[in-house]
Chains A and B, each alone.
Chain A
C-alpha cells in the first residue's frame, strides 16, 4: 500500500519557547526521531504541516524553519483554539504528530537572479523567516540579488525571532527594516504601518519580486502600494490561510474556486488570485 497521508510521524518537542511578550505566540522546536523520517520530510520554504497534539486534535501551521536547518522543524503558533492551546501548554520532551510537508512553496527557482522584498506583519512572519533563511544560506545566497525584509508588529514585544532579527541588522547580505505601529520607549527604528513604511523603503521594482504575508488588512493596503511602485501582479506572491482539515485537497473546505489552498497553495501570485473568486 502507498504511504498513508493521514498517518503522522512522531517528533519530539525539544523546546517550547514563549516568543512574544503577550505570551500569545510560542515557537516549538521539534526534533526528528530518526534519519528515515527526516529523509521523507523533504520540504521547501512556504510549505506547512499538520501538527497533532494527541488528545486534542490536529491543525495546520506554516513551517518556520528552512530546509537548510537540518534535524529539526520549528513552528511559531498563536493561541487561538483547542490544538494551539494544547501545544502551548505542552511539556518539552513530549511527542507530537506531524503530517507533511504540505502545499506548494515560494518559487525560489523563479526568484533566482532577482532581487526580493519580503514584507511581513504580525505573526504571519513564520514562513517568510523560512524563506529568508533559505536564501541567506551560503549555498543559495549567490543565486539571488538584494534581499530586503520589511517586518512590522504592533509593538516591539510582538516581533518574532528577536535574536535573529538583531543578527540580520548586522548582516550585509540582507537589508532589514523593522517597524512598529506606534512609538514605544526604547524603540529607535521605524514607526508606522507596513504599507506606508513599504512605500518609503521598498527597493525599485525593477527585476524584483515581492512576497507579502500578514493580516488581511495589512495585505489589502500593501498591495496598492506595490502596484504604485510598479510591481506587476506576476511578481507579487502571498501565502493564504484557510480553515483546513485533511491538507490533501479532499475534505473540501479550503477551496477558492477551483483551487484548494492546502494542495494548490498556500502560495499564490497576485496574478493567480486575480483570476480566482475573491472568497478568502
Chain B
C-alpha cells in the first residue's frame, strides 16, 4: 500500500510532541542517525549510516548511576532516562542487528534496563535498500535488501511516495489510519524488483557453526590476524558488537559510573588484575571474535551475530575482510586428533 512522502512526513511530524524523531542526516563524519526537528530534515538518499543505530539504545558512553559522597555517607542515583522515539530509516541489516542485541541485553537471568527501556519506547521504521554496495552481503545472512524483520513499519522508497507495510502492533498503533492507497502497476513492479534483489557479494555460512565447533585449536587462526592492528574500528562499526566497559568518572565528592563501548580486539579487555590474560594474543582475540559471532552466539541465542552490513570491511585500515575470513573457515582443514 502507498502513502505520499508528504503525508507520511506530516503524520510523523504530528507526533513530535510525544516522540523525538531520530533519522539519517548528513554530518561531517558521514550519514548517521541523529535527532531531527522535522521530517523534512531527514536524508532520503543514503546507502546506509556510517555507524549503526545501536548507539541509540546502547550509547558509546552513558551514565548508569551517579552518586554524591558526604563524609562516609553516599547517595546513589539511577541515571536511566528514556524518551519516546521514532527511529526512521533503518536498513534491514541494522534492524536485524537490533533483534540480535535484544538477545544479548536479556539473558536467562538478567535484563538490562538501560537498553530495554529505550528499546521498548522506540518504534523502528525500516527502509528497504534500493542501492546495494559491493561490500554488502546481507543476502548470505538470511536477510535481503528488502527484509522487514526487526522493523515495526517497513517502507520502500517509490520516489514521491513510500510503499508502506505495517509489521507489528507497535507500528500499527503509532500511525493509526493513514488512508493508504493502492500501488499502480508500475509501482508494484518497482516494489517487486526491490523485494527480489540480492546482494552481489555472497558468503556461505550454512555449515560454519558446526565447522567452528571443531576449530578452536585449528592452525587456521595462527596467521589469520597477523595484519590486524587490534583497533576497535570493526567492533564499533558493527551492529551486533556489544562489549562494554564500566568505569568511574569522578569530580571531587560526586561521580558517576559510566559504561563505554569496549572491544574484544583490545589486549586489556581480558587482562586480570594479577597480570594473567586468558586471551593474550591477537590470534586468541580474533578466534574469539569469529567464535562469538558464528558459534557461541548461535549456541546461546540461535542466530549468527553478523548481519552482512559490510561496515567492518569498509572501515578496516588493513583490509581484514570478514567475507574472506568466513571463506577461510569454510576451507580450513580440520585437524584430526
> Interface of A with B (CB < 8 Å)?
1-2, 4-8, 10, 52, 54-59, 80-81, 84, 91, 93-95, 97, 216, 241-243, 245-246, 248-258, 263, 277, 279-280
Question: What is the bound-complex CA distance between A57 and B250, given in angstroms?
Answer: 10
Q: Report the Cα distance A10→B117, complex, angstroms.
A: 24
Known: A57-B247, A58-B248, A250-B242. 7 other contacts (CB 8 A): A7-B76, A54-B76, A55-B69, A57-B257, A95-B73, A246-B246, A248-B112
Asked if A7 and B78 sit within 8 Å, CB to CB, the answer is: yes
In B68-120, the 8 Å CB interface with A consists of 69, 72-74, 76, 78, 80, 104-105, 107-114, 117
Residues of A within 8 A of B74 (CB): 10, 54, 95, 97
Contact across chains for B244 and A252 when beta carbons are under 8 A apart? yes
Interface-lining segment among B14-22, B46-54, B139-147, B265-273 = B265-273
Tell whether, in the assembled complex, residue B244 and residue A6 are in contact, meaning their CB atoms are under 8 Å apart.
no
Say how far A272's CB is from chain B's closest CB, in angstroms.
14
Using a CB–CB distance below 8 Å, which chain B residues touch chain A? 64-65, 67, 69, 72-74, 76, 78, 80, 104-105, 107-114, 117, 216, 242-248, 250, 255, 257, 259, 262, 264, 269-274, 276, 278-279, 284, 288, 291-292, 295-296, 299-300
CA distance A253 to B242 in the complex (A): 10
**Closest residue on chain B to residue A81 by CB atoms:** B273
Question: Which 4 residue pairs spanning A and B have beta carbons closest together?
Answer: A252-B243, A80-B273, A248-B110, A94-B72
Q: Is the CB of B264 within 8 A of A252?
A: yes
Contacts of B273 in A (CB 8 A): 59, 80-81, 84, 243
Q: Which residues of A contact B248 (CB under 8 A)?
A: 55-58
In the assembled complex, the Cα of A277 lies from the Cα of B274 at a distance in Å of 21
The majority secondary structure among interface residues of chain A is loop
Say yes or no: A8 contacts B64, CB within 8 Å: no
Contact A253 B216 (CB under 8 A): no
Known A58-B257, A80-B273, A251-B245; judge A258-B67 contact (CB<8 A): no
